[in-house]
Amino acid sequence: MTLDSRVAAAGDLFVAVVGHQADGRRYIPQAIAQGVAAIVAEAKGEATDGEVREIHGVPVIYLSQLNERLSALAGRFYDEPSERLRLIGVTGTNGKTTTTQLIAQWCQRLGETSAVMGTVGNGLLGKVMPTENTTGSAVDVQHVLSGLAAQGATVAAMEVSSHGLVQHRVAALKFAATVFTNLSRDHLDYHGDMEHYEAAKWLLFSAHHYGQAVINADDEVGRRWLAKLPDAVAVSMENNINPGCHGRWLRADAVEYHDRGATLRFSSSWGDGEIESRLMGAFNVSNLLLALGTLLALGYPLAALLESAPRLQPVNGRMEVFSAPGKPTVVVDYAHTPDALEKALQAARLHCAGKLWCVFGCGGDRDKGKRPLMGAIAEQFADVVVVTDDNPRTEDPKAIIADILTGMLDAGRARVVEGRAEAVTNAIMQAAENDVVLLAGKGHEDYQIVGTRRLDYSDRVTAARLLGAVA
């Protein structure tokens, strides 16, 4: 089953949808020429709903509102894969990748065969293949899930983007549990304003089979949603839980940060406990709690979860630490929104005895409004700010840097180094042994988009090489 006429082959089902950019019905002749067995096409403006025609001997079934029905259609085609494994969806601006990875790792430790779907890629844990979008097309999602089930996956933890929700890409999935991490400024170039962005995320808990809801009670939006979801699990680091008011709950009672990670003591509806974590920063403790709350709600035993917790690994490019004797500590993080950058800097500060450096840029051809905000945050929370390129795409890198500098009270104090590799190298070479250097924005990415070209570049590889170390 495919939406792409270029890869449609003999015996396939070609789906011709009307998208923002293209009308897939224009490619029906090409798909027929390539030998497809049948075609499902958008009815609007062409035929009545349910009408069947034959073109050159190939049946064409016309359905109205095909985009909205595509997830269910693909689910039927691939034998409802979300019912053949335990599917956990995670949505929110920040924390989706870490939370899905922690859930998948934890389940694997408890004897499940885990898979992940999202920003870093799709696949069984340890065999993840890179992807373009957080949430693929409605057909891709069902196809990937079907493949994971066929490979023996018993649990899949999936990042669910706001785009994916609005575009009905996960509409027919049966989630065993759904997790909300937080909501802050991102993707406003697509959604227009925060109200529409919140409404997009809320779709997961209102218009879908969401299973057990697990909500971050420290987030303002999360608290609003908890009032509407009486059966949800409330999770908090900031004592935003009244056990008498909520259903089931999980709360951090004390967190101690150190150079190896954090020690967390918690209480919950399932009992109390302590976890030694190798993750950095308060928001990663929040992600860990959300993962724990989800697995407790799904019936995994607390004792087994606590026993396996110390072996949970940080995610590549998510507050990932690189260190070597006599060198500064380098932290690589994907933070590319104002809120994520602030959280990453605050997290790094908890583990920093010397100066805190921040090396970052902003993506080209994307939300320009966040650039000065990120400049202001870097200036406020870091001791040394190095402004450089991220993925400039088709914009002038100098113009992007200028936009960032407008948010700073004293832009003259910022170090501007065009060329990311040079900026990262300079910062790591100049920082002192007890300094922390945060490389923000690219995380796990192993490329840089300059113009329309995709160049080989990785903050992780650069940091490891300069330190002569591994994470």
Annotated binding-site residue? 379: no
Domain with CATH 3.40.1390.10 in the chain: 13-64
392 annotated binding-site participant: yes
pLDDT at residue 243, as a whole number: 67
Mean pLDDT of 196-221: 87
User: Binding residue per annotation — 353?
Assistant: no
Tell me if 337 is assigned to a ligand binding site.
no
Q: CB within 8 A of 355, min separation 6: which ones?
A: 383, 384, 431, 432, 435, 436
In this structure, the number of other CB atoms found within 10 A of the CB of residue 290 comes to 27
Average pLDDT, the chain: 93
Element (H, E) at 149: helix 138-150
The model's confidence at residue 136, banded by pLDDT at 50, 70 and 90, is confident
Residue 2 labeled ligand binder: no
Q: What token pair was written down for 22?
A: 């293209």
Span 278-312, pLDDT tens digits? 899 988 999 999 999 999 999 999 999 999 999 99
180, 214 contact by CB (below 8 A): yes
The predicted pLDDT at position 165 comes to 86
Residue 209: its pLDDT value, please? 86
CB 48 within 8 A of CB 22: no
8 Å CB contact between 250 and 230: no
Rounded CA-CA distance 137/242 in Å is 40
Contact 373, 401 (CB under 8 A): no
The answer to the question of whether 6 is labelled as a binding residue is no
Where does CATH 3.40.1190.10 sit in the chain?
A: 78-311
Which amino acid, one-letter code, is at 400? I
64 is in an annotated binding site: no
415 is in an annotated binding site: no
DSSP string of 207-219, one letter each residue: SSB--EEEEETTS
Four-way CATH pick for 78-311: 3.40.1190.10, 3.40.430.10, 2.60.40.1120, 3.40.30.10: 3.40.1190.10
Structure tokens at 283: 């928001």
pLDDT band at 367 (very low <50, low <70, confident <90, very high): very high
Q: Which residues pair with 250 in a beta bridge?
A: 235, 268
Integer CA distances (angstroms), 440 to 30, 319, 335, 378, 423, in order: 44, 9, 5, 10, 12
| Residues 72-122: tens digit of each pLDDT | 999 999 999 999 999 999 999 889 999 999 999 999 999 999 999 998 899
Between CA 90 and CA 459 the distance in angstroms is 26
Position 53 scores a pLDDT of: 98
Between CA 249 and CA 217 the distance in angstroms is 10
The residue behind tokens 């996956």 is: 153
Rounded mean pLDDT, 398-422: 98
What pLDDT, on the 0 to 100 scale, is given for residue 166? 82
Is 95 annotated as a binding-site member?
yes
**262-267 mean pLDDT:** 96
- Of the candidates 232, 143, 228, 141, which has an alpha carbon nearest to the alpha carbon of residue 179? 232
The pTM of the full predicted model, rounded to 2 decimals, is: 0.82
The 3-state DSSP class for residue 87 equals strand
Closest CA to 194 of 343, 93, 286: 93
Is 134 a known ligand-binding residue? yes
Where on the phi/psi map is residue 176: left (φ > 0), alpha (ψ -120 to 50), or beta?
alpha
Domain boundaries 320-467, CATH class: alpha beta
218 annotated as belonging to a binding site for a ligand? no
What would the DSSP string read from start to end of 439-453? EES-TT--EEEETTE
What is the torsion angle, in degrees rounded to the nearest 10, for the CA atoms of residue 414, residue 418, residue 420 and residue 423?
Answer: -50
Q: Is 471 annotated as a binding residue?
A: no
Q: How far apart are CA 245 and CA 339, in angstroms?
A: 29
Q: Which CATH fold would you assign to the domain 13-64?
A: 3.40.1390
Secondary structure, 3-state, 229-244: CCCCEEEECCCCCCCC
Determine whether the annotation assigns residue 98 to a binding site: yes
167 is in an annotated binding site: yes
What pLDDT was estimated at residue 247?
A: 86
| Residue 390 assigned to a binding site | yes
Instruction: Tell me the β-bridge partners of 447.
Output: 456
pLDDT at 185: 53
Cα–Cα distance, 169 to 145 (Å, whole number): 13
- Domain(s) of CATH 3.90.190.20: residues in the chain: 320-467
Asked whether residue 287 is marked as a ligand-binding residue, the answer is no
With a cut of 90, say whether residue 399 has pLDDT above it: yes
* Predicted local distance difference test score (pLDDT) of residue 242: 73
**Rounded (5°) CA angle 7-11-16:** 55
> Residue 400: which pLDDT band, with cuts at 50, 70 and 90?
very high
Please report how the helices 420-430 and 459-467 are oriented relative to each other, as an axis angle in degrees rounded to 10: 30
Bridge-partner residues for 438, per DSSP? 331, 358
Please report which confidence band the pLDDT of residue 193 belongs to, taking 50, 70 and 90 as the band edges: low
Was 366 annotated as part of a binding site? Answer: yes
Residue 96 annotated as binding? yes
> Lowest-pLDDT range, 179-188, 308-317, 379-388, 447-456?
179-188
Is residue 76 annotated as involved in ligand binding? no
Handedness of CA 302, 304, 308, 310 (dihedral sign): positive
Phi, psi of 11 (to 5 degrees): 90, -5
Residue type, 131: T
- The backbone region for 212, taken as left when phi is positive above 0, alpha when psi lies in -120 to 50, beta otherwise, is beta
Q: What is the DSSP letter of 60?
A: E
